Amino acid sequence: MPANRFGMRFLLATGVMLGLLLGHQEAHAKRSPEKVFRGQILTSDKRFPTSAKSASAYIQKLKKNKKTKFTEDKKTKSWKIYVAAFFRKPLNDLEVTVKLYDVTTGRRHLVNSFEQYTEGRGQTSLISHIKLEREYFGVNKKIMITMETRKTILAQGTFHILGEEKKHSGKVDFTEE
């Protein structure tokens, strides 16, 4: 009988371990990009993918594309930034307000805002792109981007725009003209 009790304990322990392992795999399989990136706006210099073989493969692709520092295109004097926003809760509207703040000094200064239309109500994410122009944003700035609806922030993120500042000679000419 004692040997049988040992066998029962072993089977019970194995069953518990197997249950924990399967539960972990099941929980891992239920990870979705919307849950992993909830409330975040990811930025990239390349288009974000729109699909993958599995949810975990899609999450890996998003993480691989994610970038937070962008160098200015010297020809156009601008930055093209791709965004993937994952809302805190499903959207109950047909549009979101995108706001861009300069947070370089630690204080929020609204630089630009615009409306972004969506495919429909209930949407949980949005993939798009924005173009920032040097004339309005300057260079070497930290920018915070938010997506809001009815003054509720659905997602936010930060990134840096980098470029060469204008060089001044330091010479002043006081001649009258």
Q: Any idea what the Cα angle at residue 147 is, between residues 76 and 69, rounded to 5°?
A: 45
Q: Give the whole-angstrom CA distance, residue 145 versus residue 160.
A: 11
Question: What's the pLDDT at 144?
Answer: 94
Please give the CATH superfamily to which domain 33-162 belongs: Macroglobulin (MG2) domain (2.60.40.1930)
How is residue 175 written in tokens? 């001649």
Task: Compute how many other C-beta atoms are within 10 angstroms of the C-beta atom of residue 101.
Answer: 20
6 secondary structure, DSSP code: H
Question: What's the pLDDT at 168?
Answer: 58
Pairing of strands 95-102, 78-86: unpaired
Q: Which residue has the tokens 């703040």?
A: 101
Q: What is the pLDDT along the chain (177 residues), one digit of tens a residue?
A: 455 444 444 343 334 333 333 333 334 446 888 898 999 999 999 998 888 888 888 889 999 989 999 998 889 999 999 999 999 988 888 889 999 999 998 899 999 999 988 888 888 888 999 999 988 888 899 999 999 988 889 999 999 998 887 765 566 667 776
Q: Give the whole-angstrom CA distance, residue 157 versus residue 43.
A: 8
How is the chain split into domains, by residue range? 1-30, 33-162
Give the containing element (helix H, strand E) for 70.
strand 69-71
pLDDT tens-digit profile of 60-110? 999 998 999 999 888 999 999 999 999 998 888 888 999 999 999 889 999
Question: What's the pLDDT at 167?
Answer: 64
